[in-house]
Amino acid sequence: MTTPKGPQLAVLPTAAEDDASPRAQVLHPSGWPMPKGYANGMAVEGRIVVTGGVIGWDAQERLAAGFLAQVRQTLTNIAEILAEAGARPEHLVRLTWYVVDMEEYLTNLKELGKIYRAIFGAHYPAMALVQVVRLVEKAARVEIEATAVIPR
């Protein structure tokens, strides 16, 4: 018998409503540093909910003023889209953030964390962050795609 090469994979269960529902698993290879504010990977079975690129505007398509206000509105919009499918923030398995200014994001990490936790709680799915030249809406500072899985 041969020993597999590469890192060993730890699968950590996350909080679930009750023991009857399947749990999302945080995928964290052994020996890797613990990520802060995101997960390396997630595994769960169920109904998939996917958003398009969501930006920080309201129902009248008015963009919030400034980066942090747009992030707050974007995350609120994602929570509302999830609710339409019967999903909650703890069902999120992936977020992809597109920002027009990486320094603006990095300078505001502490406040971003507060905004995120106020809307989604302490649930951190797999995340990616990408700086882009611009977004479709010229005044938009951030756009986020979300994937959630509602357990069966």
Q: What is the pLDDT of residues 80-126, one digit of tens each?
A: 999 999 999 999 999 999 999 999 999 999 999 999 999 999 999 99
Beta bridge partners of 55: 143
Tens of pLDDT, residues 39-75? 878 888 899 999 999 999 999 999 999 999 999 999 9
pLDDT at 101: 98
In the chain, where the domains are located: 41-151
pLDDT of amino acid 12:
42
Determine the Cα–Cα distance for residues 71 and 99; give it in Å rounded to an integer: 10
> What is the distance, to the nearest Å, from the Cα of residue 62 to the centroid of all Cα atoms in its chain?
23
Is 70 exceeded by the pLDDT of residue 14? Answer: no
Lookup: tokens for 92: 């999120």
**Strand 41-43 versus strand 25-29 pairing type:** antiparallel
What kind of fold does domain 41-151 have according to CATH? 60s Ribosomal Protein L30; Chain: A; (3.30.1330)
pLDDT computed for residue 42 by the predictor: 80
Question: Given CA atoms 123, 96, 104, 60 in this order, what sign does their dihedral have?
Answer: negative
Phi, psi angles (nearest 5°) of residue 104: -60, -40
What distance in Å separates the CA atoms of residue 88 and residue 79, rounded to the nearest whole number?
7
pLDDT at residue 20, as a whole number: 42
Under the banding of pLDDT at 50, 70 and 90, the label for residue 6 is very low
Residue 24: name the closest of 88, 113, 73 by CA. 88
As a three-state string, the secondary structure of the chain is CCCCCCCCEEEEECCCCCCCCCCCEEEEECCCCCCCCCECEEECCEEEEECCCEECECCCCCECCCHHHHHHHHHHHHHHHHHHCCCCHHHEEEEEEEECCHHHHHHCHHHHHHHHHHHHCCCCCEEEEEECCCCCCCCCCEEEEEEEEEEC
Query: How many C-beta atoms surround the C-beta of residue 145 within 10 A?
Result: 16
* Choice between 140 and 34, residue whose per-residue pLDDT is larger: 140
